[in-house]
């Protein structure tokens, strides 16, 4: 068997994940200060008023008796979110996203005050603080305004410091599992063969189309995983056609095929035929007689306009190229594809969005 082309192969690390190694989502509630009059209206955002009073009291400023006199518009209540990467340790820095909760109009130039970030278990895993950047442009006049981007959502690069790490010891995992991002029996089997060829027979086992189990007892788990992730395999991708009717976008896989079919839409006629052909070896040759098929495609649009016949294996790519050469609109192509699928001639899954 000939080797697969290098461009068709991908690394195992690019199509699989190690089970148990993942990010953890963090969330926190905080205050952004320093806004130039674009913050929350305290009379409308009660939670912002209460948070401001509580923060000032912790800093030794009593405003309970004068709460009704607070009129500042330079503060906004926000939700802070972040992803805690796997194997993060105390002292590392991660990015955070800051989103307005009240009626603040713009967070540009604001500063996030110390905000604890909690995990799903209620524990504090990071603390965020810093100046945020929205990347948006907002201008307001007496009778007109202009906004580009979303000025009520900002980001702080390296804005949180990790205070607690998630306990996960990879070195002690004697039976790690690889999870395919796109489950497929053929791809999983190729991964098993590639791993067994590198580490020895019986190391990898396919549990299901998504999971490949590894038996690494008595081995250096981290070193073996490092060797495995750079192995190259050729993934098997299901034949799929995705169409977006709103934008007229058509995305197709390389393995999409069309059986014999004839289509007529308005003055457009498309015919796809497969003719059986027998190929015989030369006299006294060692070859074998093989039955093959020659595919003919003809596309006609009105009188005097005819697309040349294409020979060979017919793919959806060739059909769409022929229709495109005739100036068929994307929405008409989508209708044709749907009709081909309804007739059972489209040998692929058709997904309409």
pLDDT at 169: 82
> Would the CA dihedral through 215, 218, 222, 225 be positive or negative?
negative
Residues in the chain, pLDDT under 70: 1-8, 139-144, 146, 261, 263-317, 319-320, 322-327
List the helix and strand counts (H, then E) for the chain: 5, 23
Phi-psi sector, 266: left (phi>0), alpha (psi -120 to 50), beta = left
Q: Residue 153 has which token pair?
A: 């959502």
Cα–Cα distance between 142 and 116 in angstroms, integer?
40
Q: Residue 157 has which token pair?
A: 């690069």
Cα–Cα distance between 311 and 298 in angstroms, integer?
10
Q: What is the pTM of this model?
A: 0.70
> Would the CA dihedral through 146, 147, 152, 156 be positive or negative?
negative
Cα–Cα distance between 290 and 280 in angstroms, integer?
7
Interval 252-286: pLDDT, tens: 877 788 777 676 666 666 666 666 666 666 666 56
pLDDT at 61: 87
Contact 347, 239 (CB under 8 A): yes
Q: Which residues contact 68 (CB under 8 A, 6 or more apart)?
A: none
Cα–Cα distance between 241 and 352 in angstroms, integer?
8
pLDDT at 299: 60
φ, ψ of residue 260 to 5 degrees: the values are -60, 125
Q: Residue 216 has which token pair?
A: 């690494």
Which residue(s) pair with 261 in the sheet? 272
Q: Residue 265 has which token pair?
A: 């839409």
Q: Where are the alpha helices (DSSP H) in the chain?
A: 46-58, 185-199, 221-228, 316-325, 330-342
pLDDT at 206: 94
Query: End-to-end CA distance of the chain, in Å?
Result: 40
Question: Beta strand 240-244 with 349-352: parallel, antiparallel or unpaired?
Answer: parallel
pLDDT at 271: 67
Contact 12, 228 (CB under 8 A): yes
Contact 214, 195 (CB under 8 A): yes
């Amino acid at each position: 068997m000939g080797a697969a082309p290098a461009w068709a192969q991908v690394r195992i690390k690019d199509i699989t994940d190690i089970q148990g190694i993942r990010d953890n989502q963090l969330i926190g509630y905080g205050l952004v200060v320093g806004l130039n009059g674009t913050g929350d209206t305290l009379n409308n955002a009660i939670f912002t008023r209460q948070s401001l009073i509580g923060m000032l009291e912790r800093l030794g400023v009593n405003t309970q008796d004068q709460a009704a006199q607070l009129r500042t518009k330079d503060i906004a209540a926000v939700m802070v979110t972040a992803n805690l990467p796997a194997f993060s340790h105390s002292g590392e820095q991660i990015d955070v996203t800051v989103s307005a909760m009240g009626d603040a109009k713009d967070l540009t130039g604001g500063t996030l005050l110390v905000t604890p970030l909690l995990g799903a278990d209620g524990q504090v895993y990071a603390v965020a603080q810093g100046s945020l950047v929205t990347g948006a442009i907002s201008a307001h006049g007496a009778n007109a305004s202009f906004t580009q981007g979303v000025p009520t959502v900002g980001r702080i690069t390296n804005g949180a410091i990790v205070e607690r790490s998630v306990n996960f010891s990879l070195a002690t995992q004697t039976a790690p599992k690889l999870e395919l991002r796109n489950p497929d029996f053929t791809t999983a089997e190729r991964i098993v063969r590639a791993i067994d060829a590198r580490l020895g027979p019986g190391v990898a086992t396919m549990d299901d189309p998504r999971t490949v189990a590894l038996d690494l007892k008595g081995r250096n788990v981290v070193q073996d995983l490092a060797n495995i992730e750079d192995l190259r395999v050729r993934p098997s991708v299901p034949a799929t056609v995705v169409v977006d009717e709103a934008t007229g976008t058509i995305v197709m896989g390389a393995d999409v095929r069309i059986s014999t079919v004839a289509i007529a839409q308005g003055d457009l006629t498309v015919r796809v035929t497969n003719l059986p052909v027998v190929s015989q070896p030369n006299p006294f040759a060692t070859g074998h007689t093989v039955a093959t098929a020659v595919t003919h495609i003809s596309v006609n649009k009105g009188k005097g306009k005819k697309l040349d016949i294409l020979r060979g294996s017919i793919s959806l790519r060739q059909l769409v190229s022929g229709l495109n050469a005739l100036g068929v609109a994307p929405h008409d192509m989508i209708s044709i594809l749907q009709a081909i699928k309804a007739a059972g001639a489209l040998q692929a899954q058709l997904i309409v969005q």
